[in-house]
Structure 1
Amino acid sequence: MIRILFAALVATLLLPLSRAEAAELCNETSFIAQVALAWREDDRILVEGWTRLRPGECVEAGPDIDPGSDEPLLFYARSSAAYLEGVREWRGPITLCVGPSDFAVEGITDCEPLGLEPRGFMLLEGEHRQRAVLIEPADFGDRAQEAGTQRLLQAAGYDIRAIDGVEGQRTFRAIANFVRDAGLPRTPERPELIDAIEAAAINRNTRLGLRICNDTDERAAVAIARQRGDIWESRGWWRLEPGSCTRAIAARLASADIWYYAELLGETRRPLLGGTERFCFAPSRFSAEGRTACAARGYAEAGFARIAEPVEGLSTVTLTNGNFIPPVALPDHVPAGGGGSE
């Protein structure tokens, strides 16, 4: 399966608009994208999302832009949750808050009290902010819609071996099989077909991967570690409220060769007990390659525990109070520790 390198994301440069219009956003990747935009209005930064972009689709979004203005546009995007590899991101260095579903907020960075999430936005300036195009290394161009259909069919479990944007016999058969399996009276137009396959893929793939649930009475932060090729990788954090669950890995799991670490974020941080494999981690959002010389590379180190053996591609880890170091009562004159991981 092709692994897309989203670091190759660019905003392409085209001719300026002749009058004030909303920005045009185009998707030439093989993924359904959800876009959030931010811009300055008077003395405020406004952030809005999500604008959905099918592969091969262009839409207008955001505020009307005067071609003579030098005010930048800020841009962040993520892929649909339909894909086995998990959610992909198009991101930059400027942190703003986004909501899990459609939202409109002022540009703030203290996200958690409002139930929002921090995400890195990229800056689109000059003519780039009038028309931005998402691409990937395969450079599908006008083949993006076909490539996107192929990738969704593959995510939904159909026999697609190459994402190339060319509708051959294998793609034609996969579409016919999906139409039959979905009980559709006929093959719909391509936008409707993409929507239907996405819904089927999301329904299928929510039952695959690594699911972590917090059955404690405190908030938890979770990190995972696994080997990718020859490289060990640890990353985090996923925050879980009491009684909630998250899917840390969205692909079908074939083995239990994945490890997790967690901390409870009450008055004092309570780390996980019983971790047998040492990996690097950081107190804020992180992705660390390698599992040795953690301190020399600016990381802390902790024992990670192995996940449960997957059943039909799914492994579920349930955190309970007994999985963590017991709380320690603090004297009245000692301020309670706090904070937490991103």
Structure 2
Amino acid sequence: MTLPAALVSFLFSAAPAFADLKICNRMSYVVEAAIGIDDKAATATRGWFRIDPAACRVVVQGTLTADRILLNARALGVYGASPIPQSGSDMLCVAQDNFVIAAARQCRSGQTQVPFTQVTPTQGADGNLVAYLAEDSEYDDEQARLAGIQRLLVIAGYDAAPIDGVDGPKTQAALAAFLKSRGLSSDIVGSQNFFKTMVDAVQTPSATGLTWCNDTPHKVMAAIATDDGKAVTSRGWYRIDPKTCLHPDVTGQPKQIFSFAEAVDADNRVIKLKDRPLNWGGDRQLCTRETKFETGEQTDCGARGFAATGFGAVDMSSGGKTLRFAVP
């Protein structure tokens, strides 16, 4: 599955901040949001607030007095490299896990700078202030929820494409197969925990397809490559949190699959053991780069702004393979 370009957009107005502030997600991704509060000479940040498709989350309660409100959002690691472009001009500090940072313009150890976008939320019918996260597709709530289900079904290995937020026999068949394979009742589809159930399912080993499992105490960033007989396409990065698993999206019927992964610290620096990088790969040299990438050209990596990286071939002859990343 190729991630489409997505756009973070907001509804704006001149409404003053005097009530609870909510963020509503009209994207087809489960996201984690962080807010920044600019008040006089100080800037603070807080996160992460997990928000399912078609759901809202209160991020500030009560009267909010601030010169500016800023927002950053990221997709869960299950989706691979974040499809949410970040184009804000305010570089503020965040941490990998839940955080509150009082002085967010000067990062400390374990914190990184990410771009925040200034927002001016609208006043909702309930009197609260609301900012919307949206894609180019401009889904309404119902469409965003269905597109979110379709996207996770595809990642889990079920044929629910295209991801368009439109219901139909193909989506229903894929959803029914997913529920049956997990021993779940159809009633759970309408529950508040359904996206958590789906994400958990994608992050557990599977008898089919490729599964990465991170048995280390570190964050692992992984890349995949597929050979369809005509070209080898490499793609990354997928974030795999400690003690979790992930199914990378693989479309079609590739003749060969390759994998590379490396452990990184909170500042995304490669972890080394005895002066050697902690990674898992092989001898097949394929192109990668530090940021999100996808390329079907595997020659002259350096000349094209990429790096030649050693991938390992994955034996998929049994129909499914789980690669476990562990500290030697």
Given the two structures, how large is their TM-score scaled by the length of structure 2?
0.66
* Superposed CA RMSD: 4.6
Gaps of 5+ in 1: 322-342
Point out the more displaced range, 309-318 or 47-56: 309-318
Write the deviation string for residues 249-307 of structure 1: whole angstroms up to 9, x where unpaired.
Answer: 5346976521426576146345879943223455x5564744333333445434x1424
Max Rg structure: 1
Partner of 1:257, secondary structure, is: strand
SS at structure 2 position matched to 1:278? strand
CA 1:187/1:175 → structure 2, altered by over 3 Å: closer, same or farther? farther
Q: Distance in 1 between matches of 2:311 and 2:157?
A: 31
Matched, 1:13 2:11: yes
Contact 1:56 1:145 in 2 (8 A): yes
Deviation at 1:12, TM superposition (A): 2.6
In the alignment, which residue of structure 2 is the partner of 1:338? none
Aligned counterparts of 2:256 and 2:28: Cα–Cα separation in 1: 30
Given that 2:77 and 2:238 are in contact with CA atoms closer than 8 Å, whether structure 1 keeps it comes out as: no
C-alpha displacement of 1:79: 3.7
Q: Tell me how many residue pairs correspond in the alignment.
A: 300
2:126 aligns with: none
Alignment of 1:109-148 (within 5 A): 113-114=109-110, 118=112, 120-126=114-120, 131-142=130-141, 143-148=143-148
8 Å CA contact 2:213, 2:244 repeated in 1: yes
* Cα offset, 1:231, TM superposition: 6.6
Query: TM-score with structure 1 length normalisation?
Result: 0.64
Match of 1:315?
322
| Equivalent position of 2:200 in the other structure | 202
The amino acid of 1:76's aligned partner reads A
After the TM superposition, which residues 1-342 of structure 1 pair with which residues of structure 2 at under 5 Å, given as runs?
3-6=2-5, 8-41=6-39, 43-62=41-60, 64-66=63-65, 70-79=67-76, 81=78, 85-86=79-80, 88-92=82-86, 94=91, 96-100=93-97, 102-106=98-102, 107=104, 113-114=109-110, 118=112, 120-126=114-120, 131-142=130-141, 143-152=143-152, 160-168=160-168, 182=183, 184=185, 187=187, 190=190, 192=191, 194-196=192-194, 198-208=196-206, 209-211=210-212, 224-227=223-226, 232-233=233-234, 235=236, 247=245, 250-251=248-249, 256-260=256-260, 265-266=272-273, 268-269=275-276, 275-281=282-288, 287=293, 289=295, 290-302=297-309, 304-310=310-316, 311-316=318-323, 318=325
**d(CA) in 2 for partners of 1:232, 1:226:** 5
Q: Which structure 2 residue ranges, 5 or more long, are not aligned? A: 124-128, 263-269
Q: Distance in 2 between matches of 1:273 and 1:188?
A: 38
